[in-house]
Amino acid sequence: MVFVRNNAKRHGLLGAVAAPFEVLKDRIRQLYEGDTFGCIKFRYALLVLDIVTVLFIIATSFLPRNRVIESLDVVFGVLILADFSARMIISRQPLHDLARLSTWTDIVVIISFLAPLAGEAGGFLRAFRTLRLLRDYQMVARLRVDSAFFRRNEEVVFAVANLGVFIFVMTGIVYETQKSHNHQIASPCPAPSGA
């Protein structure tokens, strides 16, 4: 009888911790997978965050590094880490998700944002964030329902996004591999054709 009581106490403590976590997990899952208006607004807010992040990546690739950009890097990194963590918490197969390329690109992007002191090196890896932008199946399904433009031009939208990622990543690779011994390369951005 004493054994059962001690066992119950241990389960009671574990239960006290596990119960709120399960409630949190269910709420997060509802936000990411639910069909209520609030859940749909939340997912559109994530889409806006992804778009703003991509625009920030593009805009800051033209600017010299400074404290403001590094601070914004950390803010974006924390937001992306929160999104990534929430997705991992609600994952029904977290080990399976860890084997996916998109998971590892998210990890690389998070590291590149949270390590702003590394400078421009590897900054082009942030472009991989755009790969996740339109890979969220629920968001794509929602866009199909909500946007006639997206339904008509879905393939074009994906092609433009993929081409943009390719150009941005390849430009970054060329810049990182050539800047130390080709002094005509001063920026990862291509020079105007008249230069």
Higher pLDDT, 125 or 96: 96
Q: What is the mean pLDDT of the chain?
A: 78
Helix, strand and coil content of the chain, in percent to the nearest 5, comes to 80, 0, 20
Alpha-carbon 27 to chain mean position: 20
Contact 54, 131 (CB under 8 A): no
Provide the 8-state DSSP code for 65.
-
pLDDT above 70 covers a percentage of the chain that reads 74
Tens-digit pLDDT profile for residues 2-30: 444 444 445 666 666 667 888 899 999 99
- Give the number of C-alpha atoms closer than 13 A to the C-alpha of residue 62, restricted to the C-beta side: 6
Whether the model pTM is above 0.85: no
Local confidence band at 180 (pLDDT 50, 70, 90 cut-offs): confident
Q: From residue 134, give the alpha-carbon distance in Å to each of 141, 157, 169, 190.
A: 10, 9, 17, 26
